[in-house]
Structure 1
Amino acid sequence: MALDVLCEVTNCVHNREGRKCGAEEIYVVSHKGNKATNSEETDCKTFEPGVL
């Protein structure tokens, strides 16, 4: 399991110093059912907008 999850979405409430995700768990989904062939076919459902 990854020790650090990095995120470039600066307005997510889980985005911490150093671009590290502070969420307790990460939920990623695929646009193509339950399989994806590349990262562009996925989305992170953990995102929650925060205040910039």
Structure 2
Amino acid sequence: MAVDVLCEVNNCVHWANGNKCEADQIYVVSHTGKEATNQEETDCKTFDPEH
């Protein structure tokens, strides 16, 4: 399990200084079904924009 999860999307409510992600869980999905062959085929669904 990852100790540090980094994120550069600083308008997410889970973002913290040092590009740290403070979300309790990370949920990543693939655009192509259950498997992805490269990074561009995935999205991180943990993103939650600030209000």
TM-score band, normalised by the shorter chain? over 0.9
Query: Alpha carbon RMSD of aligned pairs, Å?
Result: 0.8
* Percentage identity across paired residues of the two chains: 69
Structure (1 or 2) with the greater helix fraction: 1
Structure 2 runs not aligned, ≥5 long: none
Q: Which has the higher strand share?
A: 2
TM-score for both structures, normalised by structure 2 = 0.95
Query: Gaps (5+ residues) in structure 1?
Result: none
How many residues get paired?
A: 51
TM normalised by structure 1 equals 0.93
Structure 1's consecutive aligned runs of 4 or more residues displaced over 2 angstroms after TM superposition are: none
